Chain A
């Protein structure tokens, strides 16, 4: 296993215990990450989507990591899923974005909220990589305030018809199914649906390739024009779709935090190699104290965030054992926000410092650290901006009556 990841696995095993099948998942993640290094780099430099990610994750049986074994997944608890994403995060946030959306926002939303029939229908295909999920909450006019979304649905004889736009949707143009949120055209209450992207009226209006980074990840603007959804594809309870959305985001935020740990690990590895081999002023630049300051920052950030993320994962595992407990849910929600907030900010600053240590070459996407600088920036925005995380964390301390976004 990669050295820093091995130390994470060893520490978690020593303190919390990991079963053999869990270690096996992590070995597969390690092999997949190794395999992805070259294609991620090539596609990043070409500023192109990387289709190899799906192929490699399929090959290493990682498309259903948290999916229960009876549905063909690996049955991993959140802590193991987090470690998996930590290792994949070393290859960059492009891989994490794909995996987080498919696993945390898509597969787990169905596993947590779906009927038995929906689980039977979607999870085995998702675990095999035959189905890929996207998550359609964000709209052109609804970002941090999803309750203001405008996509609407009407009931017809056999189910529902959805109309609206979904914006900045990761995996949008490659997904087989979109977890879409919509409100009734004539009423209140948002509902979640599992939309078949091959249905008439579903279109990828635009592949958003003008991003400042995250080139290897697919981001799209989707249009739903009277798309038919059967009544069997309503996810959860009608009118309670935001519960589905927010619960999925707890999974997703822990996953993003985990990916950011991987980013920091890669930054540390790359900085160590670069600064101990590059000679300026007659000595390796690692011997200059101001470079050591950057190394110390990245290492401290990594160690600080690692346990925040693991703690959030452990709390989520506790909540998964008793999903009726509101205190456990609130704790998982708060800790996932803390983990994502701290890890994404720390990853971005670590990447910035890594670029600095690389000097002029660090400013080129040919360097191994520039992509982390460009890509980790989005982790401070998607799945809850820094500001929304701050408000959420503050209100979890102050009480719901102090929620600033109400």
Chain B
């Protein structure tokens, strides 16, 4: 099952600084919600156990996140892939930064989900993902603005 989400966020920080933070696995590690056993593997990847709670059901997926600085200083691709609790998930997200002293981040994410979670259907998972993405970006924005 596939999901596509996209959006944009404003950050009160210079674009170059935002880029360096969001492509740094050590920084990204601090912004991941509901993450456990986070290990930065090298300068472009990390591993973590991500807990997902949908209604009364909790799942835990062991994910590897790889950051590809395809075209700095504005654009990067983050690929997160992993399995757990009968589901497999691969999320490819691309962000592009514009601005100078403050930054607009345009992003898109494509998720490929199989297993138990896929059975819940894209209508529902898109609803959950939208809520989760809001939570993630609130966390990222707060962390970036604090660090910038």
Interface residues of chain A, those whose CB is within 8 Å of chain B, are 34, 37-38, 41-42, 44-46, 266, 269-270, 273-274, 277, 358, 361, 366-368
Contacts and interface: CB of A to CB of B under 8 A. Distances in A.
A45 B116 CA distance: 15
Contacts of B121: 269-270, 273-274, 367-368
Interface residues of B, number: 16
A354 to B, nearest CB: 11
Contacts of A46: 55-56
A273 B123 CA distance: 10
Contacts of A269: 121, 123
Contacts, number: 48
A67 B127 CA distance: 31
Interface of B: 1, 54-57, 116, 118-124, 127-128, 131
6 contacts: A38-B124, A41-B54, A46-B55, A270-B121, A273-B121, A367-B119
A36 B71 CA distance: 39
Most buried by A among B120, B121, B128: B121
Given A38-B131, A273-B1, A367-B119, A45 B57 contact: yes
Most buried by B among A37, A269, A274, A361: A37
Interface of B is mostly: helix
Given A366-B119, A368-B121, A34 B127 contact: yes
A368 B1 contact: no
Contacts of B57: 45, 366
B1 A277 contact: yes
A269 B116 CA distance: 18
Contacts of B55: 41-42, 44-46, 366
Contacts of A273: 1, 121-122
A269 B121 CA distance: 9
